[in-house]
Structure 1
Amino acid sequence: MRYATAATTFVELSRGWAGCGEACRDAEVRGAILNQTWHMDAPLSDGFVAVHHGSREIVVAWAGTHRYRALLLDMTVFPLPYIPGASMSVHGGFLGSVRGAVGEVGRHLGQLMADYPDYAVVFTGHSKGGAEAALGALDLVRSIDGLRQRIRVWTFGEPRVGDAQFAAFYNHRLGNVTYRVASLADPVVAMPPRFLVDFCHHGLELWLMNEEGDIYVGQQYAGCSEDPRASSSVDFYSRSIRWHQNYLGLPPADHAQAAFSW
């Protein structure tokens, strides 16, 4: 979650971890060495790739919604085919964002995997960044040999990404190495609403049931049926954006107060 937060504060390769707030002052984050940062306007995408030798990890972190124009991307919910000709659709805005960056990310990641063959690879992101982390991971395991055996995907407050066919495809490819964390009454994990577009979540959901951090592990259901005892048990009108801003105390307060950019 600290890596996901750091990505959203627009880490710059030239500045290192300087100037991106409390998340970047965390010892675990500062122990990582930046390899690549990206900030794209069309399609919109931000994030970084880093290596942490202490934990023997390569980290690919995708930025959440922290630009005004990203709000427009979040609302671009029209379905697009994930694979041309296949009967599965995903969020058009998120897919465009990922496809604009994934080629360059893949080139850096492939080189780091060759340089550090025994390091795990972690994809992560919060909110929009979580959706992009999942889509980016799925794209790259299809193009980088050996990535599937090394990857872990951690998303926080991830909105629904695609339809039932896509969720099944994702679960088949990455379901047992993906951890989709949902805070107690986070409204973003219930977006887009099912009455608007028939999207559903992929697994595996870890629902933070209360502020103490008790966790319910969501069970898998066929089709677009989400576990009724997990985050979907919360009525939409009982949700609050404060739960999107609280994942066991993260993001930190200075991140929530940071000024948006265009």
Structure 2
Amino acid sequence: MQILEIVFTIIIAFWGIIDAASVNVCNDAKTCAECAESYIYVFGFREHCRWCVETATCVGPFACATGSGIVQREPFMCPQPVPTAKGHRYTDRLGRSLYSLALAVRESDPTECLANSRPDVKLIKRYEVECDQSHNLCASMLAVSVPAKSIYVVYKSSNMDKQLITELIHTVAAQLGAWQKFESGGGVMTYFHGAFERLFKGTGMKEQLIELNRKYPHYKVWVTGHSLGASLASMTALYLANHSIIPRDLIRLVTFGEARTGNVAFARAVERNIRFRYRVVHRGDLVTNIPANIDSNGILVTRAVAERQPHFYRFLVYYDNDMKPGSSFKKCNLSEDYACRNLPFTNNALDHLNYFGVNVDEYLAKKCKGNLLKLNTTIAQSNSTSPTLTTTNSTVTTNSSSTSSTTTTSATTISLEENSLN
């Protein structure tokens, strides 16, 4: 054993590459952040230590259990506590409320849909523009709810035809590490970048949002969307925060069916700038695993390769079910999803089209009538111009991080503010 130690010492001295981050053994690191930045030398080659999330230990290669959460190289990838305080957490009711807006923006005129699903929300303007050379359209809307004290920035999802195919073509470049430079040194897919430039910055939407913020300076700004709209939403939230257009503590980011919008630097920037952020994913949603990435914890993956990989920001909200009312979900405290859901089985296009058990075509054909989102609420007009939200004599289903519970409520007035739903 002593001879082996002498051999290792000679090899390390020969290579002359010892620095402050190297440790004698990975077990010397006692925290995830310390472990993520630590490494050892094996026959003169640097090998990063791994933090095993389940056992909270720092180990060498192959020592973490297969399929468990692993962190290396990047301290920002270490587990972070998922917010549980009221006003900072995700709930099923909050998700359904915002998803109704992501459906409304699909209409060329969302006014009637909003009147039937969220009558407190008033449309300011809907924007539409050709977002690529194939003449595919991208759309968004700005809306306001005075009772909710909220401004809404909502993006339309991809068209499930040549537009989605065009996006998929761009994922190839992203998987090869070719990114379009965006905010805070992050990189995003070129298709998303072009759509953002044309839609948010090229239509007057940005200027209109600034005016709304001046008119309602204390309103929360909810940024949301589905699919393509989800990626544009995360880019918009980061842009607003990075340019101090909206105070960071007012920005709320909730997306549905979001792809890996950008690289590691983009994910890091989103986490650093947006405190309230949730990615809602339905079961095997195909889009939520593209562009595909190489597991950065692989033994042959260098730091440079890992930095160029597509990467998710946290927090993932994962429904491994049909998302019907009362369905459970879990929230992941890791930045990537490997330890939180079975990524090899994210190959279901129908799961991408079906969130919260809503048949989108039927819902929009009925102009968003029928309470398909099962919000268990009705809108009652008071004597004032502002509507109030009241619950009916029904069973209201609420969700925790992994279980659901049921309580019966009477007709009680509750706030329309989105934070009352979370």
User: When the two structures are superposed, what TM-score results if normalisation uses the length of structure 2?
Assistant: 0.52
**Distance in 1 between residues matched to 2:337 and 2:160, nearest whole Å:** 32
Tell me the residue number matched to 1:113: 213
**Distance in 2 between residues matched to 1:84 and 1:164, nearest whole Å:** 12
Segment drifting more, 41-50 vs 119-128: 41-50
Kindly name which structure, 1 or 2, has the bigger radius of gyration based on alpha carbons: 2
1:45 maps onto 2:130 in alignment = no
1:140 maps onto 2:140 in alignment = no
**Distance in 1 between residues matched to 2:277 and 2:269, nearest whole Å:** 13
1:245 maps onto 2:339 in alignment = no
Tell me the residue number matched to 1:71: 164
Aligned to 1:177, which of 276, 283, 290? Answer: 276
- Native 8 Å contact 2:142 2:209 kept in 1: yes
Tell me the residue number matched to 1:27: 117
Secondary structure of 2:249's aligned partner? coil
- Native 8 Å contact 2:180 2:193 kept in 1: no
Stretches of structure 1 lacking an aligned partner (at least 5 in a row): none
Following superposition, the deviation at residue 113 of structure 1 comes to: 1.0
| Counterpart amino acid of residue 117 in structure 2 | A
- Native 8 Å contact 2:238 2:269 kept in 1: no
| Counterpart amino acid of residue 111 in structure 2 | W
Following superposition, the deviation at residue 83 of structure 1 comes to: 3.6
**Distance in 1 between residues matched to 2:359 and 2:191, nearest whole Å:** 24
Following superposition, the deviation at residue 185 of structure 1 comes to: 1.4
Tell me the residue number matched to 2:222: 122
**Distance in 2 between residues matched to 1:51 and 1:65, nearest whole Å:** 24
- Native 8 Å contact 2:285 2:350 kept in 1: yes
Sequence identity of aligned pairs in percent? 22
Tell me the residue number matched to 1:229: 339
**Distance in 2 between residues matched to 1:91 and 1:126, nearest whole Å:** 16
- Native 8 Å contact 2:179 2:262 kept in 1: no
Tell me the residue number matched to 2:179: 80
Following superposition, the deviation at residue 148 of structure 1 comes to: 1.4
Secondary structure of 2:311's aligned partner? coil
Following superposition, the deviation at residue 42 of structure 1 comes to: 3.9
**Distance in 2 between residues matched to 1:148 and 1:25, nearest whole Å:** 30
| Counterpart amino acid of residue 27 in structure 1 | S
Q: 1:251 to 1:154 in 2, by over 3 A?
A: farther
Tell me the residue number matched to 1:198: 309
**Distance in 2 between residues matched to 1:249 and 1:163, nearest whole Å:** 31
Q: 1:83 to 1:47 in 2, by over 3 A?
A: closer
**Distance in 1 between residues matched to 2:151 and 2:251, nearest whole Å:** 9
Secondary structure of 2:252's aligned partner? strand
Stretches of structure 2 lacking an aligned partner (at least 5 in a row): 1-98, 295-307, 367-422
What do the CA deviations read for 1:103-130 (whole angstroms, capped 9, x no partner)? 2222111111111122111000001110
What do the CA deviations read for 1:35-91 (whole angstroms, capped 9, x no partner)? 1211101444211000112211100100111274522442223333324894x4211
Aligned to 1:216, which of 312, 321, 330? Answer: 330
**Distance in 1 between residues matched to 2:226 and 2:313, nearest whole Å:** 16
**Distance in 1 between residues matched to 2:220 and 2:166, nearest whole Å:** 31
Segment drifting more, 61-70 vs 247-256: 247-256
Following superposition, the deviation at residue 193 of structure 1 comes to: 1.9
**Distance in 1 between residues matched to 2:284 and 2:364, nearest whole Å:** 18
Secondary structure of 1:149's aligned partner? helix
**Distance in 2 between residues matched to 1:156 and 1:35, nearest whole Å:** 23
- Native 8 Å contact 2:242 2:273 kept in 1: no
Q: 1:234 to 1:26 in 2, by over 3 A?
A: farther
Following superposition, the deviation at residue 101 of structure 1 comes to: 2.1
- Native 8 Å contact 2:257 2:285 kept in 1: yes
**Distance in 2 between residues matched to 1:62 and 1:72, nearest whole Å:** 19
Q: 1:68 to 1:54 in 2, by over 3 A?
A: same
Secondary structure of 1:235's aligned partner? helix
**Distance in 1 between residues matched to 2:183 and 2:253, nearest whole Å:** 25
**Distance in 1 between residues matched to 2:140 and 2:238, nearest whole Å:** 17
Tell me the residue number matched to 1:92: 190
